[in-house]
């Protein structure tokens, strides 16, 4: 009896199918396992994860490594999620002439302008002077209110205030004349004194008007047209905010250097074309489609995209030991996105939303790293290890074990880094394609668009549904339904948007975004990546290029388990009259384990 382990090294997980094959060719499946992939797919760093996955399967089957006859690996083509999937935009590095801020609890209402003055210096001011008070943390709200009231009584025009503590409402409640007060300015020591400033607070539910408008800022500070251009990022950062502070800093502080987003040079097998990033993802992907299959992709030197792609080559070169010049990018996926860009000169981490392009790059390497993994596995486990097949072809064989499937059949293998498509015809011919961009890119887009700076949190937002805790005893789910609880929920969840894991566990999202905004970002990110790649893959594997000629599509891979992605793809394919659904590998595994199962089955006919 021959015992075989099929090992699928993916971008996110490593899966094993363990099976015995009797002399008559009968396959008996013994066990499966799934562990997190260690390192970047297709490198020697994968080895610990592979060993762990094999050992887990062996334990489930109750056998030892010495009982294994053969280990069969997939050909792993890396998609560098944590390196290649960066956001490309035009970065403006500047010491702005303005700074802005928007706390959660401002006080007062209206617009006030004056010269920034430390509150302790108010007694030295003259009658009739217009000032904006700067209140550091050591001055509490009672002392601040007393000093402002005293100055006002002497005829000093206190038009507004900026406070370091969370004291705005407490200060305003103690003033004889109400003024706009913006608090929570964490870096108040950076607020320049003796400079013209404007403070604006809108009514609850409203947004600032003057300071969210570059021409409004220009009016307040009497700016020239050139200076007005410089405050556009500030105005954009303050749009939709209830409160804002803008302070004019001294002349000479303005320094601007632009790092352009740049252009992509896309090289096909016969000719190449250049596409400017500013033309957007649609123009980029149209060029990719026209020149497919790609020989390589470069970025314009000295630009954001040029630096990103060179970083990809550098990282892969160091991981695989291959020369940098041998690193060829065989596919890219570009999607339009919106990202928060930090406004330089801010006193509390202000951001402006900027249009950008998200890129996923697939790097074609030689078989050397996989051969090194195979050789090391042979040494460690004492079991012959071979590189057995291309992922898409193996996934097809695995998918055909789904009950109710038969040739001809198309599959979409939706993973963490790549989306593979394959079609097997009635006579057994296989057409396959391997595309950049999958679950990891969705996570990157969610992380970027929501400004989370936490990929683990973005991953959870991708995987689970949302809710809003409206009281300590009830939760409104994202579909509008309400859940009630007999016991009170933890107080830290009150009025927060939460991720609902496994129906019960609730994780609060720290970002100040509405449930609707987070849900829309999540769904749009999935559509941009998975629906786009599903249609790309099916067009490429269909001999005629017409998707309508397909009848059945089976979804496999880890991302096919997602609670939204299969439905989105099914909806997109419904207009073509295609039957689409999740696979159930071997009738037991769901959409997982297709490649690993295919690696075992391909041993029987010598394919792959």
Residue 559's domain is classified under what CATH number?
3.30.420.40
Worst-scoring range by mean pLDDT, 222-231, 424-433, 466-475?
222-231
Q: Are residues 460 and 498 in the same domain?
A: yes
Worst-scoring range by mean pLDDT, 182-191, 336-345, 453-462?
336-345
User: Buried b vs exposed e over 46-79: b needs ≥16 C-beta within 10 Å?
Assistant: bbebbbbbbbbbbeebebeeeebebbbbbbbbbb
Does the pLDDT of residue 589 top 80, yes or no? yes
Question: Helices (DSSP H) in 232-367: which residue ranges?
Answer: 232-238, 281-291, 304-320
Mean pLDDT in residue range 178-193 = 86
Residue the block writes with tokens 């004889």: 176
* Domain end position, chosen among 254, 280, 296: 254
Q: Using alpha carbons only, what angle is made at residue 22 by residues 20 and 27, rounded to the nearest 5 degrees?
A: 50
Q: Are residues 358 and 372 in the same domain?
A: no
User: Buried b vs exposed e over 298-335: b needs ≥16 C-beta within 10 Å?
Assistant: bbbeebbbbbbbebbbebbbebbebeeeebbbbbbbbb
Q: Which domain holds residue 109?
A: 96-254
Looking from the CA of 460 toward its CB, the CA atoms found within 13 Å total: 15
For strands 130-135 and 110-118, give the pairing. Answer: parallel
Q: Are residues 508 and 551 in the same domain?
A: yes
Does the pLDDT of residue 170 top 90, yes or no? yes
* DSSP tally for the chain: helices H, then strands E: 17, 29
Give me the chain's average pLDDT, please: 87
Greater pLDDT, 87 or 151 = 151
The CATH number of residue 86's host domain is 3.90.470.30
Q: Give the list of residues 6+ apart from residue 582 with CB closer than 8 angstroms, or none.
A: 554, 555, 556, 560, 561, 566, 590, 591
Q: Are residues 212 and 340 in the same domain?
A: no
pLDDT in tens, 271-302: 999 999 889 899 999 999 999 889 999 988 77
Mean pLDDT in residue range 140-157 = 95
Four-point Cα dihedral 151, 154, 159, 160, nearest 10: 10
pLDDT value, residue 599: 95
pLDDT value, residue 78: 62
pLDDT value, residue 309: 86
Assign 559 to helix, strand or coil: helix
Q: Are residues 433 and 479 in the same domain?
A: yes
* Domain end position, chosen among 231, 254, 277: 254
pLDDT value, residue 92: 44
137 sits in which H/E element: none
Worst-scoring range by mean pLDDT, 16-25, 123-132, 335-344, 409-418?
335-344
pTM summary value: 0.78
Q: Are residues 400 and 422 in the same domain?
A: no
Q: Are residues 433 and 547 in the same domain?
A: yes
The CATH number of residue 222's host domain is 3.50.30.70
* Residues 420, 410 contacting (CB under 8 angstroms): no
Token output for 90: 């035009």
Q: Are residues 263 and 356 in the same domain?
A: yes
Q: Give the list of residues 6+ apart from residue 488 with CB closer than 8 angstroms, or none.
A: 472, 473
Q: Are residues 377 and 461 in the same domain?
A: no
Q: Are residues 300 and 387 in the same domain?
A: no
Q: Are residues 235 and 305 in the same domain?
A: no
* Residues 581, 552 contacting (CB under 8 angstroms): no
Residue the block writes with tokens 């695989």: 320
Assign 527 to helix, strand or coil: helix
- 282 vs 263: CA distance, rounded Å: 14
- 353 vs 373: CA distance, rounded Å: 44
Closest residue by Cα to residue 288 from 350, 361, 386, 365: 361
pLDDT value, residue 364: 77
Worst-scoring range by mean pLDDT, 66-75, 314-323, 371-380, 509-518?
314-323
pLDDT in tens, 559-576: 999 999 999 999 999 999
Looking from the CA of 53 toward its CB, the CA atoms found within 13 Å total: 29
Structurally, how many domains does the chain consist of? Answer: 4
Please, is 123 exposed, middle or buried when counting C-beta atoms within 10 Å of its C-beta (0-12, 13-18, 19+)? exposed
- 39 vs 51: CA distance, rounded Å: 13
Does the pLDDT of residue 255 top 70, yes or no? no
pLDDT value, residue 250: 64
pLDDT value, residue 381: 93
Q: Are residues 381 and 414 in the same domain?
A: no
Token output for 71: 């280990």
* Domain end position, chosen among 334, 364, 394: 364
Worst-scoring range by mean pLDDT, 417-421, 468-472, 584-588?
417-421
pLDDT in tens, 82-129: 334 455 555 443 344 455 566 767 899 999 999 999 999 999 999 999
- 248 vs 240: CA distance, rounded Å: 21
Mean pLDDT in residue range 432-448 = 92
pLDDT value, residue 192: 83
- 279 vs 88: CA distance, rounded Å: 12
């Amino acid at each position: 009896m021959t015992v075989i382990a099929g090992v699928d090294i993916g971008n996110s997980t490593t899966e094993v199918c363990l099976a015995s094959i009797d002399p008559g060719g009968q396959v008996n499946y013994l066990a499966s396992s799934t562990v997190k992939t260690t390192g970047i797919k297709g490198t020697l760093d994968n080895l610990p994860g592979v060993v762990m996955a094999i050992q887990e399967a062996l334990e489930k089957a109750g056998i030892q490594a010495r009982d294994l006859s053969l280990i069969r690996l997939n050909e792993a083509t890396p998609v560098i999620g944590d390196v290649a999937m960066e956001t490309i935009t035009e970065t403006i590095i500047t010491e702005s002439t303005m700074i802005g801020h928007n706390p959660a609890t401002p006080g007062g209402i209206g617009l006030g302008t004056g010269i920034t003055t430390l509150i302790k210096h108010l007694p030295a001011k003259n009658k009739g002077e217009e000032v904006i008070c700067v209140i550091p943390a050591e001055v509490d709200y009672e002392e601040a209110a007393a000093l402002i009231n005293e100055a006002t009584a002497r005829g000093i025009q206190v038009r507004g205030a900026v406070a370091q503590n969370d004291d705005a409402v407490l200060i305003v409640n103690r003033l004889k004349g109400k003024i706009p007060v913006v608090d929570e300015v964490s870096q108040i020591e950076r607020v320049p004194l003796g400079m013209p400033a404007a403070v604006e607070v809108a009514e609850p539910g409203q947004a600032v008007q003057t300071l969210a408008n570059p021409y409004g800022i220009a009016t307040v500070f009497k700016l020239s047209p050139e200076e007005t251009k410089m405050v556009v990022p500030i105005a954009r950062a303050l749009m939709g905010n209830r409160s804002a502070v803008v302070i004019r800093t001294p002349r000479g502080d303005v320094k601007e250097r632009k790092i352009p987003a740049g252009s992509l040079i896309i090289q096909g097998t016969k000719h190449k074309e250049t596409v400017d990033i500013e033309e957007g993802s649609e123009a980029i992907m149209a060029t990719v489609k026209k020149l497919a299959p790609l020989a390589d992709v470069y970025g314009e030197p000295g630009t954001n995209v040029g630096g990103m792609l060179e970083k990809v080559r550098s990282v892969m070169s160091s991981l695989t030991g291959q020369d940098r010049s041998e690193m060829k990018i065989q596919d890219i996926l570009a999607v339009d996105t919106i990202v928060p860009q930090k406004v330089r000169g801010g006193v509390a981490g202000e951001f402006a939303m900027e249009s950008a392009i998200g890129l996923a790059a697939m790097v074609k390497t030689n078989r050397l790293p996989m051969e090194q993994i195979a050789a090391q596995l042979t040494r460690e486990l004492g079991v012959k290890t071979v590189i057995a097949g291309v992922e898409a072809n193996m996934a097809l064989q695995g998918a055909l074990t789904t009950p109710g499937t038969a040739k001809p059949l198309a599959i979409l293998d939706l993973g963490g880094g790549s989306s593979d498509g394959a079609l097997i015809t009635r006579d057994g011919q296989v057409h396959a394609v391997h595309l950049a961009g999958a679950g990891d890119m969705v996570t990157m887009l969610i992380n970027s668009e929501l400004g989370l700076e936490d990929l683990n949190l973005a991953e959870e937002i991708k995987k689970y549904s949302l809710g809003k805790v409206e009281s300590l005893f009830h939760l409104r789910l994202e579909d509008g339904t309400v859940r009630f609880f007999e016991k009170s929920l933890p107080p830290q969840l009150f009025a927060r948007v939460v991720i609902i894991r496994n129906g019960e566990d609730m994780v609060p999202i720290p970002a100040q975004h509405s449930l609707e905004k987070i849900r829309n970002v999540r769904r749009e990110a999935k559509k941009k990546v998975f629906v786009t790649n599903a249609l790309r893959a099916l067009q490429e594997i269909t001999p005629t290029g017409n998707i309508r000629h397909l009848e059945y599509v089976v979804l496999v891979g880890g991302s096919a388990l997602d609670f939204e992605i299969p439905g989105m793809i099914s909806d997109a394919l419904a207009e073509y009259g295609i039957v689409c659904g999740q696979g159930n590998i071997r009738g037991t595994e769901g959409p997982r384990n297709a490649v690993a199962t295919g690696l075992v089955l391909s041993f029987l006919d010598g394919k792959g």
